[in-house]
Structure 1
Amino acid sequence: MSSFKIVSRRSEERGNADHEWLKTFHTFSFAMYQDNEHSHFGHLRVLNEDRVQPHTGFGTHGHREFEIFSYVVKGELEHRDSMGNVEVLKRGDVQMTSAGTGIRHSEKAHGEKQVHFLQIWATPNRNNLPPQYYTRHFTDEEKSNKWVHVVAPVTADGVSDKRDATGPAPVHAPVSVFATILSPGSSLSHTIPKPFLGNSSKAFIHVIQTSGYNPGQASGGQISLSGDKAPATELREGDGAYMTAPPGTELTVTNTGDTNVEMLLFDVE
């Protein structure tokens, strides 16, 4: 028996709401969607896949003691906050807000098109930090059939806490995020790292719903997850999977469909 375990999080089982101005999926408990079996995964607390209609969005509201980042898939996202930051984020941009002792911000669709983005929250490993804001940009070419490190702990080697530096956006949590756009027939491997505490490591993968909003059974692009003699698991757009494994386990992701697949991979504690 393999000690590498994969538990699917199917797209149609996620929390889902259509507010007309906002079409959203919740992998973990959020707002009106509450599920004790899917409330968090280690320090990973929120993974929402949002589509916001033009001229609408999330009005000014407050946060504290969360690490909040947005991964823009399509369209443009306008960010404003109480730290004085005003920015329009586009495809390939990753924006990180470390809320710390408290910030207020708004996130709205910019321009005449819908914006599709992933809103991700992590719980920090230290409280009472001063609020901070960072942006990073990663091209499709950089992500093509390669893992690109888009978010990493602020204490990791090579991570800069400058607002517009290159490399991963810093996070005050034991969370690393990798992005890729995998072409049909291609495979990527990833070695699951050792946690600071415990003997079992955690990872989560999310297949982005790039072909369009679909509240039903997942369709579109398709991947296969395998590793350490565990049976392969098939995922499609909108699907995710929880993974637990001994440190050093090699995960293999293969595009088994006929279209490119964009996905995020999380190493978490």
Structure 2
Amino acid sequence: MLNVRPSEARGHANHGWLDSHHTFSFAGYFDPQFMGFRTLRVINEDRVTSGEGFDTHPHRDMEIITYPLSGAIAHRDSTGGQGLLRAGEVQRMTAGTGVMHSEMNGSDEDVHFLQIWILPNQKGLKPSYEQKHFTEQERQGHWRVVVSPDARDNSLTVHQDVVLSSTLLSKGEKAEYALAPSRHAWVQIARGAGTLNGVALKAGDGVAVSDESRLELVATEPLEALLFDLA
């Protein structure tokens, strides 16, 4: 069963320096029917103007994944983690017992990225941070694991039974995924357009997947997509 969450149905907030779309309830946007999916709590698509960003602020007991699409994000946190995050790189921060961090636009153009929150498998984890680069070649034409609970295939480590994969598809190209029994998936189209098991999708659309064993994503125009494999 595929349940599409259309891009235009998402929550939206425009603060001038920040233009944000919320797949699930977040901040001033609340919809009791969209509080998350399984342990996936937040997918925000953010655009931040040059010279602006999120000043130092706190988080706790959350796994936070940042996935840039264009531009650069300057990250700094109270664990000592810091770096410039660009398209092709993925960052995971465990907020755990509490962390302070900032995310600023580190480029001279708008930065466009997805910020993802996943509920951890336990509270009170030690805060930590990691960042890795995944080449276009690694992701072109198939699903490449970028985040997992066991760091498989040199991916980032998340403290939850979630496997996050990324793909890049040229027009007409396809990527297949086998979903194990009793597993669920969320597919998020970051850019471009295509079909998932024959269902048409565009940038910003998300799809909740249950009771499916095989997923076939076909690009009708060049696309970038994320797939969350969830318990």
TM-score range, shorter chain: over 0.9
Map of 1:214 onto structure 2: none
Select 2:215's aligned residue among 245, 251, 264: 251
* Corresponding pairs, count: 231
2:206 matched to 1:235?
no
- String of CA shifts for 1:11-42, please: whole Å, max 9, x gaps: 00001111110111100100001111110101
Select 2:190's aligned residue among 205, 208, 217: 208
2:141 matched to 1:133?
no
Tell me the SS of whatever aligns to 2:33.
helix
Letter in 2 for 1:222: A
Unaligned residue ranges in structure 1 (runs of 5+) = 161-165, 195-199, 210-220, 227-231
Question: Computing the radius of gyration over CA atoms, which structure comes out larger, 1 or 2?
Answer: 1
Question: 2:142 touches 2:176 (CA, 8 Å); kept in 1?
Answer: no
Question: 1:136 touches 1:167 (CA, 8 Å); kept in 2?
Answer: no
Offset at residue 59 of structure 1 (A): 0.7
Question: Which structure is richer in relative contact order (CA contacts within 8 A, separation 6 or more)?
Answer: 1
Tell me the SS of whatever aligns to 2:138.
helix
Map of 1:263 onto structure 2: 225
Following TM superposition, the consecutive aligned residue runs of length 4 or more in structure 1 with deviations greater than 3 angstroms are none
Alignment of 1:18-57 (within 5 A): 18-57=14-53
Separation (CA, whole Å) in 2 of partners of 1:43 and 1:113 = 33
Question: 1:58 touches 1:106 (CA, 8 Å); kept in 2?
Answer: yes
Unaligned residue ranges in structure 2 (runs of 5+) = none
Select 2:119's aligned residue among 83, 101, 123: 123
Separation (CA, whole Å) in 2 of partners of 1:75 and 1:167 = 24
- String of CA shifts for 1:140-165, please: whole Å, max 9, x gaps: 12111121101101xx3xx27xxxxx
Separation (CA, whole Å) in 1 of partners of 2:209 and 2:68 = 25
Alignment of 1:84-99 (within 5 A): 84-99=80-95
Letter in 2 for 1:239: D
Separation (CA, whole Å) in 2 of partners of 1:85 and 1:186 = 37
Offset at residue 111 of structure 1 (A): 2.4
Map of 1:225 onto structure 2: 196
2:98 matched to 1:102?
yes
2:144 matched to 1:173?
no
Question: 1:224 touches 1:254 (CA, 8 Å); kept in 2?
Answer: yes
TM-score if structure 1 supplies the norm length? 0.83
